[in-house]
């Protein structure tokens, strides 16, 4: 197995997905990973390397093992804003009072405490 394949596999594991799923989501042939794993190929086309790097929020250099800078954390787990939560809970209702929002926060704190999360 190549270092490139191991880097891709590690990024997939960190994201909690399979290599097959990653390939399907970005529109590349899963056989590309198989070829890397089996040693039939040692590299990727620049187009595919760019697609994979963008998908994981890393540089192509990081993917290829030539750049060890930190992974872009914003790509690993999307943040959820208060507005996103309000939309999910209240369905885009225009009038969400401060009291309603405070009740949601208190309930979240209750659940967090109940499960021992500090």
CA of 67: how far to CAs of 59, 64, 86, 91, in Å?
8, 8, 40, 43
In the chain, where are the structural domains located? Answer: 3-72, 82-114
Say yes or no: domain 3-72 is CATH 1.10.630.10: no
**pTM of the entire predicted model:** 0.56
| Whole-angstrom distance, CA of residue 6 vs CA of residue 66 | 14
Cα-atom radius of gyration of the chain, to the nearest Å?
20
CA dihedral defined by 56, 60, 62, 63, rounded to 10 degrees? Answer: 70
Q: Among 19, 18, 46, which Cα is nearest to 31's?
A: 19
Concatenated DSSP letters of 18-40? -HHHHHHHHT--THHHHHHHHTS
- Is the pLDDT assigned to residue 12 strictly greater than 90? yes
Each residue of 54-102: pLDDT tens digit? 999 888 888 888 775 555 554 544 566 777 777 777 776 667 787 887 8
Q: Is the pLDDT of residue 4 over 60?
A: yes
């Amino acid at each position: 197995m190549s270092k490139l394949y191991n880097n891709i596999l590690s990024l997939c594991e960190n994201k909690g997905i399979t290599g097959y799923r990653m390939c399907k989501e970005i529109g590349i042939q899963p056989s590309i990973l198989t070829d890397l794993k089996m040693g039939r190929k040692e590299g990727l086309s620049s187009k595919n390397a760019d697609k994979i790097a963008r998908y994981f929020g890393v540089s192509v250099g990081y993917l290829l093992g030539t750049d060890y800078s930190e992974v872009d954390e914003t790509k690993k787990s999307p943040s959820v804003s208060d507005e996103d939560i309000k939309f999910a809970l209240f369905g885009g209702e225009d009038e969400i009072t401060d009291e309603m929002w405070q009740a949601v926060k208190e309930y979240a704190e209750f659940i967090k405490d109940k499960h021992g999360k500090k």
